[in-house]
Structure 1
Amino acid sequence: MWSKKYLSADHLAGFDKYKYTCVDTSWFSSYIMHPFWNWIVKFVPPYVAPNLITFSGFMLTVFNYILIGYYDYYFHVANGTEGYVIPRWVLIVAGINVFVAYTLDGIDGKQARKTGTSTPLGELFDHGLDSYSSIFIMIYLFSLFGTNDLPAVRMHFITYCVYLNFYLTHFEKYNTNVLFLPYAYDYVMWSCSFTLLIAGIFGPKLFVTPIFGITPTVYVELIMYVSGSLTSHPVIAWNIYKYDMKYKLLSTFFGYPLKLMQQFICRSYRDKTGKMRPMIELFRPLYPVFGLFAVSTIWLFLSPNDIMAVDPRMFIMVTGTIFSNISCRLIVAQMSDTRTDGWNSQLWIYLFAVLICIFPFPLFGYQRLTLVVEKYILYTLVGILSIQHFHYGYSVVSEMCQHFGIKCFTIKPKQSARDKNGEAMQFV
């Protein structure tokens, strides 16, 4: 298992020809954050590898996850449950860590260009870890709302809203060759950091206090769903391309965001600048994500012991790990210009486990699946899928390092900034 190779000759050949292209339409990022990051990166020593910066930011999100989870594993603090308290310093530290991680994510590419060490590995490493970070950051906020205001079912759908917002950006790039940087990303990171700091200063109960008779949880949900629908531009753009009248109607309400959406996928088909895939191939990256949503939703509603309500943290970790694996494989495919997977091997394991959990044993004269057994299956899934995903990531990084003759976390002396074709890589 540990010697398994995940990258084919076609993958590696595609990485050799890869050119990074992105469009950042966020004025906040362009006029505030990038100047700030340009200033910060001046203080980073030239011997610090960009991937080390990326990994450090990721580990801060993991640290936050463990720290908050230690005090509020079941999201009971906001419920006012006796014996559950998050020290305010924990939330303040978490808020600072989110901002630092966000800053490190903004300067890793700048450090790569400064040191002349830009490679496709940097982008893959960055976005691959981002797919996992998206899980942790959302879980922080669940501790501020609690399970009374935010039951497990609603956590489930919010989680998938976050997944889609991340995934659809890479779905777009898979079909257009252009990475459209979501304009909402900067606001989300600032909001998460600010929210945790406010909760640390004034106490987490602030976020369960009704405003005009409605709890903040509802406002956050509405913002996420509305903003998510506007930033899910790849799928919407395809619908616009197929149904022009629908575009005219939607643009009346949403205007500029939809024009941006049309600009990328629709124009790529009109001007023949994208991959020009047939419809079934264009939507191929979405099949495993929708499969994950279907299987996890079935388990959520048909679990004999209401397993997500019992342990929402581990339930989300299972779906998040599979989602990250799906995302990483899509990123590899888009960067190497190869065909992405129409399904994911981890989904077979997940599906098999879920079928066992929801199987109607009493109909065949057997005892209903107990909570202990279902929790054991859940925790086993977390362990197996996490190890498998780690192996995939470790192997892909190792194979790319070997192919490009580089090291992941150190800078070789006289390492060139140019790829094998002699053209400078660009990575933001």
Structure 2
Amino acid sequence: MAGSADPLSDEAMAHLKSYKYSSVDKSLISNHILRHYWNASVKLLPMWLAPNMVTLLGFFCILINVLFIQIYIPDLIGPGPTWVYYSFAAGLWMYSTMDNIDGKQARRTGTSSGLGELFDHGIDSLNCTLGSLCETAAMGLGPSKTGAFTALVPCLPMFFSTWETYHTHTLYLGAFNGPTEGLILACSAMAVSGYLGPQIWSYRIADYVTIPKDLPIPLEIPADLTFRDLWVPIILTTFFTAHLPACIYHVVKARRRDNLPIAPVFLEWLPMVLFTSSCCAWLASPHSILLAENHLLIFCLTLSFVFGRLTTKIILHHLTRRPFPYWTSSLAPLIGGAVMAWLPLFGFQRVSPVVERWYIYGYFVYAMVLYFAWAVRVINRICAVLDINCLTIKKRKIDLKEAKGFSNELKSTANGDVRSTKKEL
């Protein structure tokens, strides 16, 4: 990756022009069930609808539900109106549907490009904290440590999948993956909350599950163990035993294939270590008002832009074959907030609630402005280089050979080519 580190330089854009998307999806549900649903859904879209607009419409389904949280379940506990929980499930499902057919729409309209992958995964990064915030409200977790964990934990697998893609140039989705099976479970949990109420997750498991007494190894369910208590251990166990090892394996395999050193790639975890540790430190501080005064929603909105810029920069550098980006300036206030929350530990006076309140809202504005200024600059540059529009389809002539190629690709998709993936940007 020699040359200028600027991902928007002419040298970098040359790589973008020749970029081809690559992914592997081993999910049985995706390949044998949902594929038919996605193929049927994309045919409902008009040919004039741009793929990136399809992605954006799906994201609007999440944003609407975030607004519903603020209106109907501001304490993130509830219970709110029954229809809101069903709206959470429907919104997340529609987001997933749009996220999976935007690539198909791109191939269908002959508008596939590197910008499509950048836009798609950029929206995915923004959604990490917002879609999961709906899960926090749906389960009635409130502004608690468990609620904050639920809202922020999707950032971990998203970062490491992005890191994996940067090195392998292929998006790997395992037999059980978050975008498919994980999302189905999340939608199911939201629907259960709509049918039985969010309080169901606080019920004691021992009252509903009976273990046979004649088992070879005696088992006993703790009397106070609730369904909610299993939530964090299950998520962490899944991440550390399945997702993270798979990402490391694919990266190491790719580095060995290219005869490149392996150890340096683990230094690239630094931005995520800073992001995660700063979030945990700030939220866990007994001197902070983030959870005590229920500022979790504004915190998640802020981190949506912070994390979105962090991962989207990695995606951009992957597309343009630039050196790995270790830093984004929107991380600095997050680190500052973590330090501010623990000042009494170092002998300093505690920051007043008013100051911290202004700090988080100021951080939100800063992160949002920084994100959009950068995103607009990047999109405009790519659109100019590729001679395309971002949210509309630019009128152009398609020759007979090109049209025939699109027709063959669509025919292959219709026949259920299992090698095609969920996202075909």
Using structure 1 for the length normalisation, give the TM-score.
0.81
**Is 1:132 aligned to 2:126, yes or no?**
yes
Structure 2 distance, partners of 1:230, 1:415, is 50
SS in 2 for 1:399: helix
Choose 207-216 or 153-162, whichever is displaced more. Answer: 153-162
Which amino acid in structure 2 is aligned with residue 399 of structure 1? Answer: R
CA RMSD of aligned residues (A): 2.8
Aligned twin of 1:54: 55
Q: Percent identity?
A: 25
| Corresponding residue of 2:144 | 152
Q: Following TM superposition, by how much is the alpha carbon of 1:35 offset from its aligned partner in structure 2, in angstroms?
A: 1.6
Kept after mapping to 2: 8 A contact 1:285/1:330? no
Decide whether aligned partners of structure 1 residues 107 and 237 sit closer, same or farther in structure 2, where only a CA change above 3 A counts. closer
Residues 416 and 219 (structure 1 numbering): CA distance in 2 closer, same or farther, change over 3 Å?
farther
Where does residue 173 of structure 1 map in the other structure?
Answer: 165
Tell me by how many angstroms 1:201 deviates.
2.6
Look up the match of 2:287. Answer: 304
How much does 1:124 deviate? 0.6
The letter of the residue matching 1:37 is: W
Q: Cα 1:415–1:157, aligned 2, differ >3 Å: closer, same or farther?
A: farther
Question: Residues 101 and 415 from structure 1, CA distance in 2 versus in 1: closer, same or farther, beyond 3 angstroms?
Answer: farther
1:304-354, Cα deviation, whole Å (9 max, x unpaired): 234333222223333333111111111111111111211221122333344
Shift of 1:161: 3.2
Give the aligned partner of residue 339 of structure 2: 355
Q: Which residue identity does 1:292 align to in structure 2?
A: F
Instruction: Measure, in 1, the Cα distance between the counterparts of 2:167 and 2:41.
Output: 34
Query: Aligned runs of 1:260-409 on 2, under 5 Å?
Result: 262=249, 264-272=250-258, 276-280=260-264, 282-302=265-285, 304-310=287-293, 311-360=295-344, 363=347, 368-409=350-391
- Provide the C-alpha distance between the structure 1 equivalents of 2:283 and 2:97, rounded to a whole number of angstroms: 36
Supply the distance in 2 between the matched residues of 1:222 and 1:357 (Cα, whole angstroms): 26
Residue 205 of structure 2 aligns to a residue whose secondary structure is coil
Partner of 1:14: 15
Q: 1:228 aligns with which of 224, 228, 239?
A: 239
Select between 370-379 and 197-206 the one with higher mean Cα deviation: 197-206
**C-alpha deviation, 1:221, in angstroms:** 2.2
Aligned mates of 1:200, 1:175 — CA distance in 2: 42
- CA 1:360–1:232 in structure 2 vs 1: closer, same or farther (change >3 Å)? same
How far did 1:9 drift?
A: 2.7
State which drifts further: 158-167 or 5-14.
Answer: 5-14
Q: Distance in 2 between matches of 1:126 and 1:146?
A: 30
Higher helix content, 1 or 2: 1
1:269-318 CA distance string (max 9 Å, x none): 4433xx835422x1243211111122222223345234333222223333
Q: Which amino acid aligns with 1:61?
A: I
- 2:413 counterpart of 1:427: no
- Is the 2:26–2:173 Cα contact (8 Å) retained in structure 1? yes
In structure 2, the residue matched to 1:248 is none
- Could you tell me which residue of structure 1 aligns to residue 227 of structure 2? 216
The CA deviation at 1:377 is 0.8
Separation in structure 1 between the aligned mates of residue 116 and residue 132 of structure 2, nearest angstrom: 24
- What does residue range 61-100 of structure 1 map to in structure 2 within 5 Å? 61-77=62-78, 85-100=79-94
**Change over 3 Å in CA distance of 1:312–1:26 after alignment to 2:** same
Aligned equivalents of 1:387, 1:173: Cα separation in 2: 27
**5+ long unaligned stretches in structure 1:** 78-84, 239-261, 418-422
The alpha-carbon deviation at position 144 of structure 1 amounts to: 3.1
Give the aligned residue type for 2:125: S
Does the CA-based 8 Å contact 2:135-2:150 persist in structure 1? no
Indicate how the Cα distance of structure 1 residues 53 and 23 shifts in structure 2: closer, same or farther if over 3 A, else same.
Answer: same
**Which stretches in structure 2 are left out of the alignment for 5+ residues?**
1-5, 207-222, 400-404, 410-422
TM-score (norm 2): 0.82
**Aligned equivalents of 2:74 and 2:397: distance in 1?**
45
